[in-house]
Structure 1
Amino acid sequence: MISRACFILSIFLISAVANDAFHKWMVERDSSRSSKIEFVTTQSPKDGHIGNVHLRVATNIKKNEILYSFDISRPTAVISAQEARRDPDVGHVFRAIQEKREKKKDRKAVVLNDGEAIKLYSMWLRVNRPDRWAAYLDVLPELDVPLMWSDEDLSQLKGNLTTDLKEAMDADWNTRFRRVLQKYPEHFPATSYTFRDFLWSTSLLGGRVWRHEGDNIILPIIESFSFDKKTSAKLQQKGDIVELVATRDIAGGEEIHLRHTDTNMGNRDLLDYYGITINDNEHDNVQLGVTLDKDDRLYGAKMDMFKRKGIKSGQMFTLTKEGASNELIAALRIYHTTLYDFDTVTLALVDKPISHQNELDVSRSILELCERALDAYETPSSREEEELLKKREATTNRVWNAARVRRSEKRILKRTILQAKEAMVNTNAKWDNRGVDIPTALKSIKSEVKPNTKLTPV
């Protein structure tokens, strides 16, 4: 079931005037001039600021029939870096920024890539609301992503990188984007733009982006993307034409959803990018990093093995409900390789156990990384969390979604901790031949897990 933060069953319409204006705006931009869909803008009655554009078919539709067609090369059809450069009011500013980026001669010049140009342009559109974009801007909601949350709300996501990301973005805003405002004050008066505008434009780019020839563009109907597998339409691209095509027969008046291309995202990424979570998301994961110690006398040799293995120092690896990935284990085997091991180890061998001690060190590292990640959550116990998740109507979307993210991440970490302990027992039994009673040892390890943190599949 998709969280109500995305597709809310109980909805009310924004103003009929705004809805009609947006429908007209979209119909005017249909390059096929035969739009078969209606556009209904909606908003959440609980949180107010969360909205979506819903699509309905106006008549019976056959499978593979084209419902709508975008010519993304046409002015004011999509928000893009190209659109920013040809804007009649501020296009010369974005063209100047592009020229300085291509020349790369002036080190003090403000250099923005195309994605950053879209951020700045969308901020300008939001503040100035030119008539050619007004109908779209009037129905464009804020995504309720953690970037837009208060510090108090973010405290529910300890262990999530959002707080660090906001700090990095604050630095980026103050050191780079505000320089643009200072250089072009007649177009970007500093008092009219805030850090919150910057966060909004970032969430807009993250949650509504469509890739075209390696560039990012923002399609107006991207708000209707769904992560539900039971969708009835898809987007397909032919050159500069992006078409909305029916994937099955659709009855007149039926609401349609698009199948989102990023279907392998865990709840943390879904929340960060789209402000939603999915119940029992099979793609939930936790990220752990491995960084080589530069003081290690074998640093050069290990770095060389990292590179040959396609691994970077500081790289983040994914934990899933299945536990540690083979890539993480291989990286840790290299990390813990000793001078003695180098007498026998080869690059191919890191995909298999190197030695008794090395394998124990790998399991201990996974154990330590998971325990440290688990300790980062200053949140309720798992039992209290389960009770909270049963009271959907009594809580806000932010509390609900944060609890879902915490629950899945904690489960993965606890499960991986148990697997690491089991691996240590099995390693000792295999290499040392100490006559370890494995069933007894495993029973002892499992007894360390408290009843209220029972591990269950995500």
Structure 2
Amino acid sequence: MAAADEPRAMIEAFCKWCQEQSCDMSRVRIEQTSSGLGLLAAQDIIAGEIGLSVPVDALLTVTAAAKTEIGQTVLNSAAARNRRVSAQALMYIVMLDGWHNPASKWHSYLRLIPATHNDPLWWTDSERQERLAGTQLFHEAARHMAQLRDVYDSLFPALSQELPSVFPAERYTFQAFLWARSSLSSRCFSNKQLATWLHGDSHELPELPALETEEKGLVNDCPAALCPFLDMTNHNPETWLFSIKSH
């Protein structure tokens, strides 16, 4: 990934996007912290009061990804013909397109995500060997790297060869998929989490059931979603600090 934009300009663009998406961010503000971007209270928030809210339509889910122009291009491509497409691959492609493409719905959000990560998949083989040899994490890292390679190889370089103007080879690299994978895994909310929280407010969570991915010709291997703005909060499954607003 290329270097990201100037931080303050990115934050301002993202805040504008949040307002356009009808997010309620009046009680919090985004600030740079020692561990990255985070949310600070802009005013006192009393117990039981909603601190922030994000419409379900702002979430990047597998189904939302499948409905994008580039998602449809993937699903209707010759590379995807007579086979089911990995939902992970679809999410990664939409994330990469969104990072580069200002016309993407999630462009301002995705530009906030760091260009590099520090999880073990980003370490060199020698670093993993030195730091993790003899541990379960060493084998887990190898398994995840092999799985990501399989996801990537399922569509590339075939898509770049079939539609080079849409999927330029220099953009859709394995390293770019690694960025998308680490970005998603470090920020996502599970569909189960989202459905549980929404059920508490008597809402239905649209467009997330596994059966929908089956109907769209997708392998249901990505039961998670990106939640812009909410992912700056602590979203441990046992933590109840926010409510999700559905429209």
Fold in common (TM above 0.5): yes
The count of residues paired between Structure 1 and Structure 2 equals 206
Tell me if the contact between 1:39 and 1:54 (Cα under 8 Å) persists in the aligned partners: yes
SS in structure 1 of the partner of residue 225 of structure 2 = strand
Question: AA paired with 1:207?
Answer: S
Shift in Å at residue 95 of structure 1? Answer: 4.8
Where relative contact order (Cα < 8 A, 6+ residues apart) is larger, the structure is 2
What's the counterpart of residue 241 of structure 2? 234
| 1:184 aligned partner | 163
Q: Does 1:219 align with 2:227?
A: yes
Structure 2 distance, partners of 1:82, 1:236, is: 22
Partner Cα separation in structure 1 for residue 182 and residue 20 of structure 2: 27
Of 22, 26, 29, 2:21 maps to: 29
Q: Partner residue of 1:64?
A: 48
Equivalent residue runs for 1:48-447 within 5 Å = 52-73=36-57, 77-87=58-68, 89-96=69-76, 107=82, 109=83, 111-130=84-103, 132-141=105-114, 142-155=116-129, 156-158=131-133, 159=135, 160-161=138-139, 162-210=141-189, 211=191, 212=194, 213-214=208-209, 215-220=223-228, 221-225=230-234, 234-237=241-244, 240=246
Residues in 1 aligned to 2:177 and 2:158: alpha-carbon distance in whole angstroms: 13
Comparing 115-124 with 176-185, which one deviates more in the overlay?
176-185
Task: Return the alpha-carbon distance in structure 1 between the equivalents of residues 59 and 235 of structure 2.
Answer: 20
Per the TM alignment, residue 131 of structure 1 is displaced from its structure 2 partner at its CA by 6.2
Gaps of 5+ in 2: 1-5, 195-207, 210-222
- What is the DSSP-based 3-state SS (H/G/I as helix, E as strand, rest coil) of the residue aligned with 1:55? strand
Give how far 1:91 is off.
4.2
**TM-score in terms of structure 1 length:** 0.39
Q: Which residue of 2 aligns with 1:305?
A: none
Q: What is the TM-score with the length of structure 2 in the denominator? A: 0.68
Q: Which has the higher strand share?
A: 1
Distance 1:234 1:195 in 2: 36
Q: How far apart in 1 are the matches of 2:32 and 2:113? A: 9
Over 3 Å counting, the alpha-carbon distance change for 1:85 and 1:131 in structure 2 is closer
Maintained 8 Å contact 1:52/1:224 = no
Residue identity in the other structure for 1:29: Q
Q: Is the 8 A contact 1:79 1:218 kept in 2?
A: yes
Cα drift, residue 163 of structure 1: 2.5
The residue type equivalent to 1:234 in the other structure is L
Is the radius of gyration larger for structure 1 or structure 2? Answer: 1
| Contact 1:41–1:139 (CA under 8 A) maintained in structure 2 | no
CA contact (8 A) 2:28 2:52 kept: yes
